[in-house]
């Protein structure tokens, strides 16, 4: 049986990053975005936007991936991720949200890889006339807007912390990011034991052996 109350593996981001007025005005001046601006523009103000964003998100996300909840930097480079994909110059996606704060999170290299999320569509029945980002119907768990407890539940297996979806969004996220893989389940147990999150003596013995050998 899954025990939802004991674990907070995936956490909601409750604070949006903030920027200097000059930086915000500069970003607005680049509109309308056509695709490719994120990578091709390398001005000082653009660098400040990205560095400020990353610094604040590291704090607000507690140095954890927005999608899988594991520590950033352990599986590769930490990346600024667009929840609604921006695409590129030759294959633009939701370019109007390229610099929307609530569309930007930090993700681990595995979750943001082409084999998982990449540029996959994350919005159902997109309306190009919709000017309100929040009104979009996202088909995956949204780290800013959604309470993870509404979409996921976690429980203990042997040497693992397993995950199940409680909603279509939750299940789609699990499938997209492979959150129920053996590697993910084992890594969650290692993280919980290491950080001292698990205080129930009845399950602690299950987790101790995880530290022995299993790695990504």
Q: Give 1-27 pLDDT, tens digit per residue.
A: 444 434 568 999 999 999 999 999 999
Q: How many CB atoms lie within 10 A of CB 53?
A: 20
- pLDDT digits over 134-178, tens only? 999 999 999 999 999 999 998 876 677 888 999 999 999 999 999
Classified as helix, coil or strand, 86 is coil
For residue 113, what is the DSSP state?
A: S
Q: What is the pTM of this model?
A: 0.83
Contact 72, 64 (CB under 8 A): yes
Alpha carbon of residue 166 to chain centroid? 18
Alpha carbon of residue 129 to chain centroid? 26
Mean pLDDT of 177-201: 74
The rounded distance, in Å, linking the Cα atoms of 38 and 15 is 23
């Amino acid at each position: 049986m899954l025990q939802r109350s004991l674990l907070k593996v995936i956490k909601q981001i409750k604070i949006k990053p903030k920027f200097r007025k000059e930086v915000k005005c500069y970003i607005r001046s680049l509109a309308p975005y056509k695709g490719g601006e994120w990578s091709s523009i390398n001005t000082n103000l653009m660098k400040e936007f990205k560095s400020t964003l990353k610094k604040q998100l590291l704090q607000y996300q507690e140095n954890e991936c927005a999608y899988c909840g594991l520590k950033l930097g352990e599986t590769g480079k930490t990346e600024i991720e667009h929840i609604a994909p921006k695409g590129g110059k030759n294959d633009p996606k939701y370019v109007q949200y390229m610099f929307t704060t609530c569309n930007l999170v930090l993700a681990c290299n595995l979750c943001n890889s082409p084999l998982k999320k990449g540029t996959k569509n994350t919005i159902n029945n997109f309306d190009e006339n919709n000017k309100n980002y929040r009104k979009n119907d996202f088909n995956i768990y949204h780290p800013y807007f959604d309470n993870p407890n509404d979409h996921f539940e976690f429980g203990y297996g042997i040497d693992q912390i397993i995950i199940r979806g409680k909603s279509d969004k939750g299940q789609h996220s699990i499938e997209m990011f492979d959150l129920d893989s053996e590697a993910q389940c084992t890594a969650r147990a290692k993280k919980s034991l290491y950080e001292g999150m698990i205080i129930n003596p009845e399950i602690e013995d299950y987790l101790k052996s995880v530290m022995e050998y299993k790695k990504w």
